Amino acid sequence: MKKSILLVGCGGIGTEVIKKLSGDKSISVDQVLVRAESRIVKISDQMHQKVITSVNSLSHRPDFVLECASHKAVADFGPYFLERGIDFGIVSVGALSDPLLYQKLQSASEKGNSKLFIIPGAIGGIDLLSAAGVDNLEEVSYSARKPPLSWLGTPAEEIIDLKNILEAKTIYEGDAREAAMLYPKNANVTATIALAGLGFDQTRVKLVADPNITKNIHHIEANGSFGEFKITVKGNTLKSNPKTSSLTAYSAVRAINNRIKSTSI
């Protein structure tokens, strides 16, 4: 019997997840939860999932829920499903920069005996960073370099003319907590790194708009008693959403496969 997956949100990431899992005989992405009624017609015309705007309209209990919408979606739906014993995966990891929400999700998980899955997204080396934190992890820094138009709709627009810059410009330098809050659609990797390493307040972040690149470039540096490492990922963006690396969608697919098929490779 196929396992049922509910998607919360169905933009570029959700659409890609559905496509990648469409031929899987053990998994069915059969329900999509969106906020706006207008989204129902658009999604229904393109795909075959049941599209709803309220948890009250669920046709059946899903085996796993994947959020790929927003920080608000994590806050609105994460506790609901976790309390009911349904594992919940999140792409919008930056939502966890809110300590109150983090505690609420943790409490809901304990109450429902369920698990919150953090989707690593477009960066690698998270297992390495977590291992380094076992003994005296001293410094962790992360930089994200993206094409200027990837930063449209963010505070970067107030700093520079994103459509006309000719050279790379730093749009943010600070800690991971502030970066995740200010750039919720762009800095989810920031939150993942913070959670795996030194935390939101100790992880240093630099965000750059660069007109001379076409890929999203993520770079982590860490050092401590283990030694040191540097990891760089140059990821292609989703055609439907230049803010998001295609690896984010692939990471979500892997998380679903791992949860449903109980693999750890």
Spatial distance between the Cα atoms of 204 and 258, rounded to a whole number of angstroms: 31
Spatial distance between the Cα atoms of 7 and 30, rounded to a whole number of angstroms: 8
Greater model confidence, 40 or 143: 143
Please give the DSSP secondary-structure letter assigned to residue 203. Answer: -
Percent of the chain at pLDDT > 90 equals 57
Chain segment 205-239, per-residue pLDDT in tens: 999 999 999 899 999 999 999 999 999 999 888 87
Percent of the chain at pLDDT > 70 equals 94
CATH of segment(s) 126-242: 3.30.360.10
Residue 61 contacts by C-beta under 8 Å, 6 or more apart in sequence?
4, 84, 86
Please give the DSSP secondary-structure letter assigned to residue 145. Answer: E
What tokens does 124 get?
């690698």
CB-based contact 181:205 (threshold 8 Å)? no
Q: What is the residue-averaged pLDDT of the chain?
A: 88
Greater model confidence, 122 or 201: 201
Residue range 3-118 forms a domain whose CATH class is: alpha beta
DSSP structure string for 152-203: TTSGGGGTS-TTT--S-EEEEEEEHHHHHHH-TTT-HHHHHHHHHTT-TTT-
- 11: pLDDT strictly greater than 70: yes
What tokens does 252 get?
């979500």
Distances (CA, A) of 165 to 129, 156, 169, 187: 34, 12, 8, 21
- pLDDT-wise least confident of 64-78, 121-135, 233-247: 233-247
Spatial distance between the Cα atoms of 239 and 236, rounded to a whole number of angstroms: 9
Q: Which amino acid is at 217?
A: I
Is beta strand 137-146 parallel, antiparallel or unpaired with respect to 204-209?
A: parallel
State the residue for tokens 């795996």: 196
pLDDT-based confidence at residue 15 (cuts at 50, 70, 90): confident
What tokens does 257 get?
């496969």
Is beta strand 169-175 parallel, antiparallel or unpaired with respect to 204-209?
A: antiparallel
**Per-residue pLDDT at 80:** 97
Spatial distance between the Cα atoms of 126 and 166, rounded to a whole number of angstroms: 33
Would 3-118 and 126-242 be classified into the same CATH topology?
no
Chain segment 104-163, per-residue pLDDT in tens: 999 999 999 999 999 887 788 888 999 998 989 999 999 999 999 989 989 999 989 999
Domains of the chain, residue spans = 3-118, 126-242
- 101: pLDDT strictly greater than 70: yes
Q: In the predicted model, what is the mean pLDDT of residues 185-209?
A: 90
- 16: pLDDT strictly greater than 60: yes
Q: Which amino acid is at 246?
A: S
What tokens does 168 get?
């790379």
Spatial distance between the Cα atoms of 50 and 26, rounded to a whole number of angstroms: 18
**Per-residue pLDDT at 265:** 38
State the residue for tokens 């410094």: 139
Active-site residues, by number, are 218
**Per-residue pLDDT at 263:** 41
This model's pTM is above 0.85: yes
CB-based contact 16:249 (threshold 8 Å)? yes
